[in-house]
Structure 1
Amino acid sequence: MSVSAVYPRCVPTRSRLIALLAVAAAAIALAGCSAAAPARPVAAEGTAAAAPAGRAKPQVVAIGDSIAFGKGVRPDEAWPALIAAQHGWTLTNLAVSGSGFVKPGWNGDTYRQQVDTALGLHPDYILIAATRNDRGQDPALVASSADELLGELHDTFPRAHIIGITAVWGADKPPATVATVDGIVQEAVTDVGGTFLDIGYPLARHPELVQADGIHPNAAGERIVATTIEDRLAPLGVTS
């Protein structure tokens, strides 16, 4: 219902008394209009004020391969999920099985597509893993991609903490090419001021920690990887 329907428009008359009464009525009408004027609902104000609290948990994005994705285990058992739970972070896991900086994953995506998705988010932390999947790729191409993608992440999120880790290998001895990939990613991460964690090979000589394919950690293996990462993070003061 409009204000004019509730408070009829006051029309001047020939009588001074009626005019005075009309002025008084208009004043009352204006007071009524002020009280009835549309205002931002209290709930909306509360929502706006509470928006920062809605992001009280730091946001973390994971970029990686099948091991970061958690192939063969539950999503909450993959090492990025375990790290996020440890710190009380909210995780967006963008990892794709088979992917790398250069090597396309099962869906044809490389880390390029994962980073493109991450650029549309608002992460406080970025986890990015070197991967065994790039070990057979041209090192120059891996270096070019790593430099480009890490540069984009840093330029877009200059306040985000970028955390890189070495490639996760299985129970057998890794080839030298894995160390080459690790070195490339380490340089790209540190060049943009990120933190790079050398976690070694925590699954080496522990076949009980990997799945039947000999590559992917089982749930216990993922926990070992996460614990090793935490051990490297602790001295750096990374907290929730």
Structure 2
Amino acid sequence: MPSSTPSGARPNRRRSASLALALGALVALAAAGCTAAPARPVAADGAAAAAAPAESDRPQVIAIGDSIAFGKGVAPDEAWPAVVAEQHGWGLTDLAVSGSGFVKPGWNGTTYADQVDQALKLHPDYILVAATRNDRASDPAQVTESADRLLGELRDAFPEAHIIGITTVWGADAPPPEVARVNGIVGAAVRGVDGDVLDIGYPLAGHPELVQKDGIHPNAAGERAVAAAIEEKLAPLSKAL
């Protein structure tokens, strides 16, 4: 697994006051006990249908990811990108699609490339890119090529955006070794475009009460636990921004 490695100050990156972080502010959100909301469709019918309208004067964040970032089985505002965005006062566009990865096609045959195509039409200050379990069975060379290409496209289009990679969210059981391989590939691609990688470990491991009946997707409490793990790694970056 790659370690969390803040990359230090970047002269071209926007210094938004909204990234002032309160250490541990989300930790209390990780308490278990909440059940999942009624299931939503597997994926959005249109671009960013899961995202709430954003106010133009707020810093904007884009989430690129899979069904866990999409929030399958929970309400839109319970998915971890929404929890993180709310904590920081960011306007969120959640482009995540169930089943998708850098190589693995998801709902309607879409991959992360389709999410990046949508992202290129927007104006983000922050870009969250989630490594995914969906790529664990894919050819590592193909995952590497796609990750490098797509991260490059994002950096070329948004030279001042803060790109943040997040390691794979697994369930309550132990992940296979292929997950670490995917994390390493995505982490290298993110660092290669001057982004930061947040190694959040496996916050759901050993906690079946945080996972839905399918054993894969976090429930509302599990999504908050993931958001808290992200916040714990994100908070120290404020010192370098």
TM-score (norm 2): 0.76
Higher helix share: 1
Q: For each residue in 1:63-88, what CA deviation from the matched residue of structure 2 results, as whole angstroms up to 9, or x when unmatched? A: 00000000000010000000100000
SS of residue matched to 2:107 = coil
Q: Distance in 2 between matches of 1:98 and 1:107?
A: 10
CA contact (8 A) 1:102 1:142 kept: yes
Secondary structure (helix, strand or coil) at the match of 1:133 reads helix
Structure 1 residue matching 2:163: 3-state secondary structure: strand
* Aligned AA (1:70): G
Structure 1 position 177 matched with structure 2 position 175 = no
Equivalent pairs counted in the alignment come to 187
Task: Give the aligned residue type for 1:58.
Answer: P
Residue equivalent to 1:57: 58
CA distance in 2, matches of 1:126, 1:57: 14
Instruction: State how far apart, in whole Å, the 1-side matches of 2:100 and 2:171 are.
Output: 17
Deviation at 1:174, TM superposition (A): 0.2
Which stretches of structure 1, 4 residues or more, deviate above 3 A after TM superposition? none
User: Which residues in structure 2 correspond to 1:81-100 (within 5 Å)?
Assistant: 81-100=82-101
Q: Within the alignment, does 1:229 sit opposite 2:230 as a pair? A: yes
Quote how far apart the aligned CAs of 1:106 are.
1.4
In structure 2, the residue matched to 1:18 is none
What is the percent sequence identity of the aligned residues?
Answer: 73
Q: Distance in 2 between matches of 1:212 and 1:78?
A: 17
Q: CA deviation at 1:118?
A: 0.1
Structural mapping, 1:5-84, within 5 Å: 55-84=56-85
Q: Tell me the alpha carbon deviations over residues 79-102 of structure 1, each in whole angstroms, 9 at most, x when there is no partner.
A: 000010000000000000000000
CA change 1:239–1:106 in 2 (3 A) is farther
In the aligned structure 2, how far is the partner of 1:216 from the partner of 1:82?
Answer: 16
State the 1:239 CA deviation. Answer: 11
Long gaps (5+) in structure 2: 1-54
Q: Greater CA radius of gyration, 1 or 2?
A: 1
Q: Could you state the TM-score of these two structures normalised by the residue count of structure 1?
A: 0.76
For residues 181 and 219 of structure 1, the distance between their equivalents in structure 2, rounded to whole angstroms, comes to 25
Distance in 1 (CA, whole Å) between partners of 2:111 and 2:93 is 17
RMSD: 1.4
| TM-fit CA distance, 1:56 | 2.1
Task: Give 2:190's aligned residue.
Answer: 189
Distance 1:59 1:151 in 2: 20
| Aligned counterparts of 1:106 and 1:58: Cα–Cα separation in 2 | 29
Segments of structure 1 that go 5 or more residues without pairing to the other structure are: 1-53
> Residue 96 and residue 238 in structure 1: after superposition, are their counterparts in 2 closer, same or farther (change >3 A)?
farther
Cα–Cα, structure 1 residues 104 and 238, in superposed 2: closer, same or farther, change >3 Å? farther
Q: Check whether the contact 1:87–1:239 (CA below 8 A) recurs between aligned residues.
A: no
Distance 2:183 2:215 in 1: 20
Alpha-carbon contact 1:59-1:122 (below 8 Å) kept: yes
Which amino acid is the alignment partner of residue 149 of structure 2?
E
Residue 145 of structure 1 deviates from its aligned partner by: 0.1
Distance 1:193 1:71 in 2: 30
Secondary structure in structure 2 of the residue aligned to 1:237: helix
After superposition, the C-alpha distances for 1:38-57 in whole angstroms (9 at most, x for unaligned) are xxxxxxxxxxxxxxxx6320
